[in-house]
Chains A and B, each alone.
Chain A
């Protein structure tokens, strides 16, 4: 177990903890908050016991989706986050970014104490009291409106506090800027429905999903919630499944789950949506609301035949989409950030109309009242910047926003900051924006502080500190209150609370009154903390068309400039807008589409690449009217030939060791001028030039295609209906001897005989897993969950290039078709140790470190392993990972957990050392833990579903099921018996415990 540099190891830490009173009481005692009890979930804090985990409910703040968390705390340290099963948004599931929130908490590059910039531009530590005095002094002069406060998206007490705090100083200069602010969607909702907010989409109620560029399983609005509903409805079950058609020039991660991909000309998606709506109204396909006549003239201008020329999509496809869309419950979605071009508001408005004419609004698309704390559009940030440049801003406060990295440089935010005499950042990390500030007053991590977040109307979620702060940081809410107290006078008279927790509790007392709860506040509060918040079923607003619905302003298409390629800048699935770039788990998480890690790539169609003489790995110069950036090429058939795509998130010049100097910031290519709807346009025209430089891409993909191996198998819904469960055949379809069954049975008898001896006697479970590929979206949440649970080291880009990544569970992605006019398709398959019944690895281990356990696992005993690597050589699935370096040795340059990152290590799992082979063992620590618990409760058998592997636990679409294959009534047994079930490389007769259920594509066209 790793020790940190001052010699504090786990055991000593325990001792220290003991002194202050044991368990969670110590936890609150050590925090900078006054001594109070924290309320853990189910287990009261008095019962926190060393060696036993305590779970706290909180809220994930990694993106505005606001999923509920359960944080596993051992000996006063958070060691794992999981979804809160009671939470209405994510129901226990979490995405990769949520899983990686621990790496924000323990990030070695956090700002460890308040910093002040000296005359020579360097930062020096400053005492909190001095820093607060400095702020108070600056604000204490004559109140003026020269104070501005820039925050990220907040929805709750902190949001209100900032507004009130500014008001106390006579300022209304609040800007809440969220880089992925969905300005086009908001604009369209205002124009079409007169509603200032975002809708909620019910995927579980929609048989048919038609997405116009929305990456709803990836970053769009609330991906975990969407994946849950989508998995339930679109996943195959008893002969039924939904159908999903994706419309976008690029096949995104989300679109990999689509049954059909339509790639219109970039920028023309809105026309397509309008013409689908036109056909619905023209042919009376749905009972449309009466006020549709108001938009008839608009729809009638979009006849499929005329639109076809602009979109490149044939008229009969449009007519078919219209029929399919109205055949049953459906939902249409409008573009995420990746499709936010200059005419994106028209696309979004067109999709609104499409949903409206099909009668979906109020059913699968619901508006549920106005949420609190709406982010301002990008155009407000532009105004702020010009105010700053003009010298109107005297003091600028910034919290949860990094505009220097997160906006096109043409905006000139960094330069504008020079014109502001006093700039204070509350950043947790020294990012590009904090670097240009005068004072950095680090906020607590979201897992260290009190706060609340109204995820959507009716969902009031609480955040509570799950452990004492790691560093000398302070909650920004408290700092603001300390500043007003220091200033005194009228400012402090307006804000009388002394701590942010008091402020929070006051707003929750008000909430209690609003929800009509008459119990004592303490009861209400305690219960809310234990559950993670308070949720009510919101009422669905009645929606009609607004007066402006029929008149869409501005051009309805974005046109690609002559001689250019359309560049799509899309949010990275792992790094989001770039805020995840300092988390090594997310940097090393292979992109679901390209399988690339740690860098920026540009996706180019292979034919375009061939024309331009660009091969994979070539360094390409991408030039727009604004700037030129360099990125390595990845040849991707899932694009139109006139389109290239680059993910956001990299190109940091600050933000810590994991983020700095990797790849390029694609925002540099974009125009800083806000669009008609007030956002940044993420489409632009570019030219590509091969620089002649080349380097292998740090990607985990071996070959992009299956080469007939039949690893990720697919079957169509029609074939299943005809009883043809066997989709395609790989090499396993090769001729086999006639007596093969007999031979295998005989061999198996021998094997069974052998297992009767020794410890294998008696009844045991056989742990197994079923992975439903019709539900798996490739989102990779399971991968990060596995890293978190099993103390897997990150190795960095150089080692990834050499194939030395340690990812026990990887998502294999294979391309199909896309050549010779065949439709392109991508398939995904989670590949982990198959726990073979007849394992090739076991027979070659000279020291019995790889061996078979009585309960059917391929055990891997690290302390026994001598590192011959024979097992890995003999493994057909390549799921064994070797420790080439001392990732757990602090003195080693490859040390994977620099202090305090090693605090997140799971104390129940050995940290492997150099020269040792490691692999998935179905989270054996979780199995043994549950078995121990069962034994203490006098139970010999575990209930089905009692053990959840980390990957299964977090899977947003419920694709992974784990359990006992020897129990015929277990869920996993039932799935393993399904006709879709197959074993990867089953022809090798390895008898895996993992059964894959074939992906099902619904190609039934309406």
Chain B
């Protein structure tokens, strides 16, 4: 990564944030009801969504976090299996998707796309949303396993949502936090954990 490329990444990140802000329009009903904590009744995800009106990049398959994690209340770790032990959260394999979708949702056109990938033995090229610069080390495990500060009494999904936003209400995932250093530091200061540079940069 050259310095120039780094600068470009910085600019892009900033742009993405602006875009995310602009696309957060009040008429987006989905966003308006996106506060899982206050939402005690079982959540029912909308059947149809208009991806054009949603923030975040369009993915090769409209994988609905709001259906899986929200309505069905699946544990995040079912798919993001490495999150407690690794720096990486882990990306579900196509075979893992097929574990359910060999039966479930056969008629759904998005599931049919998935099956096509499976039949052709092709990986799904998801668009990456949460991009950290290569000089940043972010151990998911350390954060998810944390019992410190305000993380103490949180459910796993709530810990995830601290940085990833209201995933359980997102039909299409978008970047919720800036992921810039100031944002990291703010939280680290609030929780009174190390702000030493070499905790993340080496």
- Using CB atoms and an 8 Å cutoff, list the residues of chain A in contact with chain B: 1, 11-12, 14-16, 18-22, 49-52, 759, 851, 853-855, 857, 859, 861-864, 886, 888-889, 908-911, 913-915, 921, 924-925, 928, 932, 935-936
Contacts and interface: CB of A to CB of B under 8 A. Distances in A.
A863 B136 CA distance: 9
A936 B202 contact: no
B86 A861 contact: no
Most A Cβ at <10 Å: residue of B84, B93, B139, B198: B198
Contact of B142 (A863, A913, A935): A935
B145 A863 contact: no
B123 A853 contact: no
A199 B183 CA distance: 64
Given A1-B1, A19-B121, A19-B122, A49 B199 contact: no
A22 B97 CA distance: 13
Interface stretch (B62-70, B125-133, B151-159): B125-133
Given A925-B202, A935-B142, A936-B142, A911 B134 contact: yes
A15 B125 contact: yes
Interface SS majority for chain A: loop
A553 to B, nearest CB: 62
Contact of B141 (A19, A853, A936): A936
Contacts of A932: 139, 141-142
Given A15-B126, A50-B90, A932-B141, A759 B194 contact: yes
B134 A1 contact: yes
Contacts, number: 112
A49 B197 contact: no
29 contacts: A12-B125, A14-B91, A15-B91, A15-B124, A16-B123, A18-B123, A50-B82, A50-B86, A50-B88, A50-B91, A52-B82, A759-B196, A853-B196, A853-B198, A854-B194, A854-B196, A861-B197, A863-B135, A863-B201, A864-B197, A864-B201, A889-B2, A910-B201, A913-B1, A914-B3, A915-B3, A932-B139, A936-B141, A936-B142
A928 B198 contact: yes
Contacts of A11: 128
A886 B142 contact: no
Given A50-B86, A932-B139, A15 B3 contact: no
Given A19-B93, A915-B3, A925-B202, A52 B197 contact: no
B85 interface: yes
A18 B91 contact: yes
Interface in B75-97: 81-82, 84-88, 90-95
A863 B133 contact: yes
A934 to B, nearest CB: 10
B25 interface: no
B137 interface: yes
Given A15-B91, A911-B1, 13 more contacts: A12-B125, A15-B123, A15-B124, A15-B126, A16-B123, A18-B91, A18-B94, A859-B198, A863-B6, A864-B197, A910-B134, A914-B2, A932-B141
B196 A859 contact: yes
A15 B195 CA distance: 32
A913 B3 contact: yes
Nearest to B5: A913
Interface residues of B, number: 41
A886 B2 contact: yes
Contacts of B81: 49
Given A1-B1, A928-B202, A759 B195 contact: yes
A487 to B, nearest CB: 35
A657 B34 CA distance: 59
A936 B85 CA distance: 8
Most B Cβ at <10 Å: residue of A14, A888, A936: A936
B199 A19 contact: no
A11 B123 CA distance: 12
B201 A913 contact: no
B198 A857 contact: yes
B128 A52 contact: no
Contacts of B88: 14, 49-51
Contacts of B125: 12, 15
Contacts of A864: 197, 201
Contacts of A21: 93, 95
Interface string B92-121: 111100000000000000000000000001
A936 B201 CA distance: 20
Contacts of B202: 908-910, 921, 924-925, 928
Nearest to A14: B91
A925 B137 CA distance: 9
